[in-house]
Structure 1
Amino acid sequence: MDRKNVLEVKDLHVSFHTYNGEVQAVRGVSFEVKNGETVAIVGESGCGKSVTSQSIMRLIPQPPGVIKHGEILFEGNDLTKLPEKKMEEMRGKEIAMIFQDPMTSLNPTMTVGKQIMEGLIKHQKLGKAEARQKALEMLRLVGIPSPDSRINQYPHQFSGGMRQRAMIAIALSCAPKLLIADEPTTALDVTIQAQILHLMNDLKEKMDTSIILITHDLGVVAETADRVVVMYAGKVVETGTVEEIFYKPRHPYTWGLMGSMPRLNLSRDTELSPILGTPPNLLTPPKGCPFASRCEHAMQVCKEHMPETTNSSDSHQVACWLEHPMAKPVDIPHDVVGGVSK
C-alpha cells in the first residue's frame, strides 16, 4: 500500500543577507517525506541541511534570512504562507524538532519535567496534574531511570545522553506527525548513540511518526533511514533508498562521501580518500554544477551548465552530467560501494 506524503518541499530557495552580500544557502531543494518514513539529509557542513530543516519549522531569523521561493507543503498546507500565530500552534504539536546540542536547547532555569509539561499544557490543554503524569510517562518511554525524581531535576543534573533523551521526550510529548532530528547523536559516545538511534526507531514504530534526520554520519543513516537526500552547496545532487545510495551511488559527490568513510570491510592498510578542495562560495555560486571544481570526472559542460535531475529508477534521482547519454561511461569506484548495511 502506497503511503501518503506528510511533507513535500518544492523548489525551496533560502538566502541570508549579509554585509558582504546575499548568501544563497538553499538553492532549489525538493524532496518529500511519506507517512511513517525516515528520510536522512546528508552532506558536508555548510551544504544547507540545517537551513532546510529550520525553514520547515519557520525558525529562520528574518532578517537576515528570507525564504525567497518555493513551497513547504505539510499535509497539503503551505507552511511558507501561514501566519506566525498558526505556526506557533503547529510547532511541537504537529511538527517537532530535536536540536543538535541539548545543553543549549534546554532551559537551564526550568526543571526537565516543567519543560515537558509546557507543550502538553499549551497544545493539549491538559491540567498541571495530568500534564505531570504524561511527562512521567514520556520519561519512562525514553528510558530515563527513576523518572519520579528526575522529573524535578534541572538539565545540568542530567548526563549528555539523558539530556538528549529528555529532548526527545519533549519533542514527542504531543505525538507530532513529523519529527526533525538535527544531528541528534553528534556529541554522544558510540554506546549512547546506539541507544538513542534504537529509541528513535522504536518510537517511530509505536507512534507512526515520520522523521527527517539531518546528519553527516553515514553509519547513522544506514542504521535508521529509509531514504537518503544528498545535498551539496545548497542543492540536492542525489536521492534514493538507503540501498541505492550505499550500493548504487551515481553522483561523484556521493562516491566521495562513501570513500571518505571508515568501514569494517576495508583492510587495516587501506587509506581513506578525502574529497579534495573546498565547497564553492555561496555569495557567488557557480553557474554550472557546484561540485565541478572538485570532481575528477568534470567536463566543460559541468562548469557552464547546471545538470538536470534524471531518474536512475522510480526512487533514485541524480543531478549529474555523467548521466547524459552522450557522456563517456564512468564506473562506480569499487571501494565506495556498500560497507554499511542496515
Structure 2
Amino acid sequence: MKTILEINDLHVSFNTYNGEVQAVRGVNLRLEKGETLAIVGESGSGKSVTAQSIIRLIPSPPGKIKQGELLFEGKDLTQIPDREMFKIRGAEIGMIFQDPMTSLNPTMTVGKQIMEGLMWHQNHGKDQARERAVEMLRLVGIPNPESRVDQYPHQFSGGMRQRAMIAIALACNPKILIADEPTTALDVTIQAQILDLLKELQNKTETAIILITHDLGVVAEMARRVAVMYGGFLVETGTAEDIFYRSRHPYTWGLMSSMPRLDQKREEDLIPIPGSPPDLLDPPQGCPFADRCPHAMQICHEEMPKRTEISGSHQVHCWLEHPDAPSVDPKARLKVNIGSR
C-alpha cells in the first residue's frame, strides 16, 4: 500500500512558567492510504499533541515543533509556509476534534460551518455549498437535513453534534482524517453508530484514518495497526493482532489488564497500573515506564531502549528484548492476552 504520511523523529515542546514540557519525544510513524491507525495511551501521553502537530495546530507560543519531519505525500509540513498549510488543513487533512460542543461555533448554524470549508477550499458558490452541506448531513445519518442545516449546535444532541463534526471534516474529501476521541462521552449505541459510519465512509472514499483513543474496544473494532504511546514516546507498534495477542511491552500488558472483559465476574479481575505517568517537565533518562514497571532493571532507568524488530509489522522499545535480559513468565504478564484465561 502507498504511504501517505510519514512522521520521523517528531519532538514537540511547550514553554511554561515552570519550564519546558517535552510533550512528544521522538515519534516515528507511517500511515498508508485507506488504513486506520490507532494511537492509544493514557491521558497526557502525547496522542493529541502528535495529531495536532500534523496539521500545525500547536499554539506557538508556547508550543513548538523542535525537531522532526511530517511528510505528507513527500512534502514536509513543518517547512511549508502558513499560506500553503492553510490550503492543506481541512481540504486534504481533516480533523474531528475531541469535544464537539466546544469545537463547533455556537454562533453559526451547522450548515454554515460545513459550507465555510467548501467555499474556501473548493471555490463553491453559496448555493452549491449549501447543497453539499445538506448532502453531507444526509451522508452522516442526520434526519431531515434540509431543515437541520439551518439549526445551531445547541439544537443538536450529542451524537448529532459528533456527526456534524464528521460532516465538516469530510466535506472536502480529505485524504487523511484525524479522529481525536470521536466517541468520548457518547453512550454505547451512539458510539457503535459513529464507528460504523466512519468505516462506511472510509470504504467509500479510501480515506486514511488516524484514530486517537484510550478505548481499546474502539481500537479492536476499527484499527488495522496500533501505536502504543507513553510519556511522549511510542513504546510499541504493530498490527491489531500483534498488540492484542502478541504484545511485548509491559505498558501494553498493563493497558490490556486494566480493560474490562465480558467474561469478567469480579471487580478484582481488573488490574490497574500502579503509579503515575512521568513528569514531562523533567522526563526520565531511560524508559518512561521504568518507575511503574514490575519488570524494570537498572538499565531501564538509565538508558532509553532501542527499537527491536519483532517482525516486519511489529516493533517494541523495551530492554526485556535484549539477549541478556531475564525472561518473563507469560503468566506474570498481568494477564495480558485476551482469551488467555
Structure 1 residues without counterparts, runs of 5 or longer:
none
Give the aligned length.
Answer: 338
1:70 aligned residue: 68
The answer on whether the counterparts of 2:96 and 2:180 sit within 8 Å (CA) in structure 1 is: yes
Map 1:102-113 onto structure 2 (within 5 A): 102-113=100-111
AA in 1 matched with 2:306: E
Map 1:136-147 onto structure 2 (within 5 A): 136-147=134-145
Question: Which TM-score applies when normalising by structure 1?
Answer: 0.97
1:266 lines up with 2:264 in the alignment: yes
1:150 aligned residue: 148
Shift in Å, 1:171: 0.3
Query: Deviation string for 1:10-55 (max 9, x for gaps)?
Result: 0000000011111100000001000000000000000000000000
1:210 aligned residue: 208
Map 1:159-198 onto structure 2 (within 5 A): 159-198=157-196
Query: Deviation string for 1:221-250 (max 9, x for gaps)?
Result: 000011000000000000000011000110
Query: Once superposed, what is the RMSD of the aligned Cα atoms?
Result: 1.1
* Partner Cα separation in structure 2 for residue 301 and residue 126 of structure 1: 59
The answer on whether the counterparts of 2:271 and 2:334 sit within 8 Å (CA) in structure 1 is: no
* Partner Cα separation in structure 2 for residue 184 and residue 334 of structure 1: 29
* Partner Cα separation in structure 1 for residue 334 and residue 162 of structure 2: 37
1:337 aligned residue: 337
* Partner Cα separation in structure 1 for residue 106 and residue 59 of structure 2: 23
* Partner Cα separation in structure 2 for residue 339 and residue 222 of structure 1: 14
* Partner Cα separation in structure 2 for residue 216 and residue 181 of structure 1: 12
* Partner Cα separation in structure 2 for residue 14 and residue 313 of structure 1: 29
2:249 aligned residue: 251
Is the deviation greater in 207-216 or in 127-136?
A: 127-136
Query: Deviation string for 1:161-215 (max 9, x for gaps)?
Result: 0000000000000000000000010111111011001100110110100000000
Shift in Å, 1:279: 1.0
1:84 aligned residue: 82
Question: Which TM-score applies when normalising by structure 2?
Answer: 0.97
Query: Deviation string for 1:123-178 (max 9, x for gaps)?
Result: 11111111111111111100000001101101000000000000000000000000
The answer on whether the counterparts of 1:265 and 1:339 sit within 8 Å (CA) in structure 2 is: no
* Partner Cα separation in structure 1 for residue 315 and residue 299 of structure 2: 20
Shift in Å, 1:266: 3.0
Structure 2 residues without counterparts, runs of 5 or longer:
none
* Partner Cα separation in structure 2 for residue 281 and residue 234 of structure 1: 10
Query: Deviation string for 1:280-333 (max 9, x for gaps)?
Result: 111111111111110010001111111001111100000000001111111333
Shift in Å, 1:79: 0.3
* Partner Cα separation in structure 2 for residue 245 and residue 331 of structure 1: 18
Match of 1:287 among 281, 285, 288: 285
AA in 2 matched with 1:313: S
Shift in Å, 1:338: 2.1
AA in 1 matched with 2:335: D
Map 1:43-62 onto structure 2 (within 5 A): 43-62=41-60
AA in 2 matched with 1:337: N
AA in 1 matched with 2:192: A
AA in 1 matched with 2:287: C
* Partner Cα separation in structure 1 for residue 241 and residue 184 of structure 2: 24
Query: Deviation string for 1:236-286 (max 9, x for gaps)?
Result: 000000011000110000000000000113334652000000111111111
* Partner Cα separation in structure 2 for residue 111 and residue 285 of structure 1: 44
Secondary structure of the residue aligned to 1:62 is: coil
* Partner Cα separation in structure 1 for residue 139 and residue 159 of structure 2: 15
Secondary structure of the residue aligned to 2:195 is: helix
The percent of aligned pairs where both chains have the same amino acid is 70
* Partner Cα separation in structure 2 for residue 175 and residue 240 of structure 1: 28
* Partner Cα separation in structure 2 for residue 56 and residue 225 of structure 1: 19
1:305 lines up with 2:314 in the alignment: no
Secondary structure of the residue aligned to 2:335 is: helix
Secondary structure of the residue aligned to 2:28 is: strand
* Partner Cα separation in structure 2 for residue 97 and residue 143 of structure 1: 19
Match of 1:40 among 30, 38, 41: 38
